[in-house]
Chain A
């Protein structure tokens, strides 16, 4: 048998087994005793169409929160990871602070950090403290996710073999030059997939900001659901979140592949 026909056979089998699997699951669900009721409250096409424009508009706030937070997180987390990788006793206090920060913000539930900052900071009534709940939601997400993402970066830095740094230093590069040009570029490339995981987590957690009152997609769907006693708006919000996640995931796969290809490329 040729490789081509074997490949085609594999595709056929995959398609068939997928169809069978989902047919069975579909039958099981639609024959459940409560299905008619669930379908009416969760999968009402009319409700879906009616609620989605407004939820989509609210979802733009999620995207905005995500984009702003992510930009800060990528930079701050890298700084934190670098601080934790500083060698020598001089930097001991900074390393300790870095560790304490990462432990604290990975330990406290995100929703608590959001609540504490979102309700607490404005309550101080300081004239220079912004009152916007969205602002404080973003700050909370940045604080929490910086802790996670710095761990990802750190794992990347540690995965670069010390001989790379030794080679750079042996050529007369300073610690910073070696870090910037040799260690970090390799470290960051390696952690793109886990980094994306955290991106996706962050994207979902933007919904937590709704807890403070900011009308993002989840909050909007809550409002809609409460008005119509129908939960279809939640499904609409879920569809929007997933729709953003999938291209992000495919994009990372592509980045990883491109990097691998390029490293093995022979130039022209």
Chain B
């Protein structure tokens, strides 16, 4: 199995706060890896580093065999291959849904407007958004907005998708529709690295769960093992807190 993503000894600080202290992580092609960990443990930071939205201090990130953290790498080219979806959707409010989706393919890939729109319409229908394509983001529900954000990232035909707690800004009744989309992506073989607080979902979808703690991947393994019999005391503590909060 070849590696879609390798993170090697990644260090990242904000000022004096060292958030990532040597993260090692590999994600194989078509693999779905869920990243769990306490709030503030650095899940978002790790995903942002992989998408080169944050400069890293030390270490290497390799995507599909290419070291993307090497000096002189064209970051725009790399980012086109890596889709990221944020907790807060971050749709462009001044553009219709369709334009949100076609903007990057037309600008960054040079796809013709006609073709980009045809592809976007197809993706939107696939995710139940066909009738929303002329709407503006502010008029959509949170679940719809998040699905549009996923479609927007997919329109770039990425090799790898990074999802950062894509359901945690949603009302509970809207979570399912977004998770359904992600399941469909996994079923289609999309390689994904997913930061999540939804343990049930992680158990369902992940091939592997990684626990991020104190700036390192403290423990990782298949979902059943990680969620029911973690070895590390800190992982046990973390899961216990989640169980107590009624989230597992």
Main secondary structure on A side of the interface with B: helix
Task: Mark contacts of B64-80 with chain A using CB atoms, 8 A cut-off: 1 yes-contact digit, 0 otherwise.
Answer: 00000000000011011
Q: Which residues of A contact B53 (CB under 8 A)?
A: 166, 169-170
Q: Which residues of A contact B108 (CB under 8 A)?
A: 171-174, 177
CA distance A172 to B68 in the complex (A): 14
Distance of B55 from chain A, by nearest CB (Å) = 11
Let me know if B136 and A174 touch, CB within 8 A.
no
Let me know if A169 and B79 touch, CB within 8 A.
yes
Number of A-B contacts (CB under 8 A): 80
CA distance A263 to B133 in the complex (A): 14
Interface residues of A in 69-119 (CB under 8 A from B): none
Let me know if A186 and B94 touch, CB within 8 A.
yes
Whether a CB of chain B sits under 8 angstroms from the CB of A7 is no
Interface residues of A in 153-172 (CB under 8 A from B): 163-164, 166-172
Q: Considering only CB atoms, which chain B residue lies closest to A189 in the complex?
A: B94
Distance of B113 from chain A, by nearest CB (Å) = 13
Return the contact of A171 from the options B103, B134, B135 (Cβ within 8 A).
B103
Whether a CB of chain B sits under 8 angstroms from the CB of A182 is yes
Chain B: interface residue count, which band? Answer: 20 to 34
CA distance A265 to B94 in the complex (A): 11
Whether a CB of chain B sits under 8 angstroms from the CB of A264 is yes
Let me know if B136 and A265 touch, CB within 8 A.
yes
Contact A166-B90, Cβ < 8 Å, known A265-B136, A268-B134: yes
Whether a CB of chain A sits under 8 angstroms from the CB of B45 is no
Q: Which residues of A contact B90 (CB under 8 A)?
A: 163-164, 166-167
Let me know if A172 and B93 touch, CB within 8 A.
no
Return the contact of B104 from the options A171, A264, A265, A268 (Cβ within 8 A).
A171
Return the contact of A170 from the options B51, B77, B134 (Cβ within 8 A).
B51
Q: Which residues of A contact B80 (CB under 8 A)?
A: 171-172
Q: Which residues of B contact A170 (CB under 8 A)?
A: 51, 53, 79, 82-84, 153
CA distance A186 to B91 in the complex (A): 12
Interface residues of B in 147-171 (CB under 8 A from A): 152-153, 156
CA distance A169 to B108 in the complex (A): 10
Interface pairs (26), CB distance under 8 Å: A163-B90, A166-B90, A168-B92, A169-B76, A170-B53, A170-B79, A170-B83, A170-B153, A171-B79, A171-B108, A171-B152, A171-B153, A172-B108, A174-B76, A174-B108, A182-B92, A185-B94, A186-B93, A186-B94, A263-B93, A263-B94, A264-B138, A265-B135, A265-B136, A267-B133, A267-B134
Interface positions of A (Cβ within 8 A of B):
163-164, 166-174, 177, 181-182, 185-186, 189, 262-268
Interface positions of B (Cβ within 8 A of A):
51, 53, 76-77, 79-80, 82-84, 86, 88, 90-94, 96, 103-104, 107-109, 132-136, 138-139, 152-153, 156
